[in-house]
Amino acid sequence: MADIQISNLVKTYPGGSERATDDVSLQIQDGEFTVLLGPSGCGKTTLLRMIAGLELPDSGSIAIGGRDVTYLPPNKRNLSMVFQSYAVFPHRKVRYNIGFGLRMAKVPAEEIERKVQWAADLLQLGPYLDRLPANLSGGQRQRVAVARAIVMDADVLLMDEPLSNLDALLRLTFRSELKKIVQDLGTTTVYVTHDQSEALSLGDQVAVMRKGRIAQLGDPLDVYDAPADRFVGGFIGSPPMNFMDAAVSHDGGTLVLGEQQLMAPSILRSFAGRDVLLGVRAENVTVRNERSSGDVAATVLVVEPMGSTILLTVEVDGHTLKVQAPPTFRTAPHKTIWLGFAPNTMRVYDRETSMALEAK
């Protein structure tokens, strides 16, 4: 186990004009589970592959446990990794696959056998040890890939979208299983995904990446509640955060939303008179059929019952919003409903830079 220090990592692929990672720095504590999250092409996989040594950076450095590994080959880094395609060797039985890394390290046979058995029990692969990967289901192959990674006493465990090839139900069950296994192991883990719910549910810290840079790094709940910019708010959460143009009144006490007014969060006192971008999450809007004080009128466009909630698409002064209503709420398209905004759940952003505004 070890910490990871990534400093000013720059990588441009041959023939590419844009930087795949653009001066990325990241600290990962010993035993921490870090998720790299972002849309495709954001550089998250490149970053992971540089930690693994499968790609070499143009500049910058990577240290694992205080040792500079930037240009070391992968086999000298004491890593283990779960690949998106599983990369379970097709010509070898499950038993050999799980013990592969130990065998390469010339661990005594009986110890390999013991560890393989332990990992197989943990991942319920016991009955399949003498099968070939071709005779396993996708989910079982995925378990073999995870078992192969956890038998190594590696400093760092890397996972490259390990759940993306599983079907939705399996992904959900294996996700919590994976979390428990990694928690019990306590290995420093870097996990790449484009699925924001995976990132929120698994990570101790989440690094949201965009265009080769880390847009926000933090505790999953912080990243969810207080996105650092419009991109993060729009990428994380299902539905994504709502954004509306608004103006702060001259006394800083209210937000002007077209014709209507809202109570402003207290941090806006220092931004009196400015135009801002208001961000609010669907579940932080209270939906009512009767007007209550401070409410804003909205017209219902679409009603989507989701089972545990009802997702409403509504229009407020030309802005389209997604809001959540309890399953008992009854409304229909074209009806007018009333929305209540709690000032402390509102986030405000600069209209030009899209960055979060903080009280001065």
Partner 1 sequence: MAVEAPPTPAGTLAPPRRRKIPPAVLLIAPSVVFMALLLGWPVIQGILQAFRDENGFTLDFVTRMVQDPYFWPAVRNTLLLIVVMIPLQFAFAIGMALMLRTNPRLHKVHFFVWAIPLALSDLAAGLVWLAIFNDRGYLNSALSLFGIEGGSWLAYDNQASMFMCVLIAELWRATSLVLIIVVAGLQGIPKDYDEAAQVFGATFWQRLRHVTLPLLKPSLQVALILRTILAFQTFAVAQALTGQNFPLVVGETYRWYTGLQNPNVAAALALVILVVSMLTSIFYLRALRDKNQGGLR
- Is position 162 an interface residue for partner 1 (rule: CB under 8 A)? no
* Shortest distance, position 85 Cβ to partner 1, whole Å: 5
Q: Are the beta carbons of 298 and 338 closer than 8 angstroms?
A: yes
Position 281 contacts partner 1 (CB under 8 A):
no
Three-state secondary structure call for residue 207: strand
- Determine, following the binding rule CB under 8 A, whether residue 132 of this chain makes contact with partner 1: yes
Site string for partner 1, 101-130 (x = CB under 8 A): x--xx-------------------------
Minimum distance from CB of 86 to partner 1 (Å)? 8
Distance of CA 50 to the CA centre of its chain: 19
- What number of CA atoms fall less than 13 Å from residue 324's CA on the CB side? 15
> Toward partner 1, which CB reaches closer, 89 or 338?
89
Collapse the DSSP code of 196 into the 3-class scheme (helix H, G, I; strand E, B; otherwise coil) and give the result: helix
Shortest distance in whole angstroms from residue 166 CB to partner 1: 16
Nearer to partner 1 (CB atom), residue 165 or residue 201: 165
**Residue 81, interface with partner 1 (CB under 8 A)?**
yes
Alpha helices in 3-43 (DSSP H): none
Residue closer to partner 1 by CB (options 161, 229) is 161
The count of C-alpha atoms lying within 13 angstroms of the C-alpha of 66, restricted to the half-sphere facing its C-beta, is 1
Q: Does 279 bind partner 1 (CB under 8 A)?
A: no
Site stretch for partner 1 (CB under 8 A), options 131-139, 222-230, 324-332, 347-355: 131-139
147 is an interface residue for partner 1 by CB under 8 A: no
Q: Within 38-77, which residues bind partner 1 (CB under 8 A)? A: 52-54, 73-75, 77
Pick one of 85, 137, 289, 336: the residue that binds partner 1 (CB under 8 A): 85
Read off the amino acid at residue 144.
Answer: V
152 binds partner 1 (CB under 8 A): yes
Is residue 252 within 8 Å of 269, Cβ to Cβ? yes
What is the rounded distance in angstroms from the CA atom of residue 310 to the CA atom of residue 313?
10
> Where does this chain touch partner 1 (CB under 8 A) — which range of 133-141, 210-218, 239-247, 257-265?
133-141
36 binds partner 1 (CB under 8 A): no
Give residue for tokens 């030309």: 318
3-state SS, residue 265: coil
In three state form, how does the secondary structure of 76-114 look? HCCEEEECCCCCCCCCCCHHHHHHHHHHHCCCCHHHHHH
Considering the complex, state which of residue 90 and residue 305 has its C-beta at the smaller distance from partner 1.
90
CB of residue 91 to partner 1, shortest distance in Å: 5
Report the distance separating Cα 360 and Cα 352, nearest Å: 18
Give the three-class secondary structure for 306. Answer: coil
Q: Between residues 39 and 138, which has the closer beta carbon with respect to partner 1?
A: 138
Q: Is the dihedral of CA 78, 81, 87, 88 positive or negative?
A: positive
Tokens of 18: 């844009």
Q: Can you give the binding site for partner 1, defined by CB under 8 A?
A: 52-54, 73-75, 77-81, 83, 85, 87, 89-92, 100-101, 104-105, 132-135, 148, 152, 158
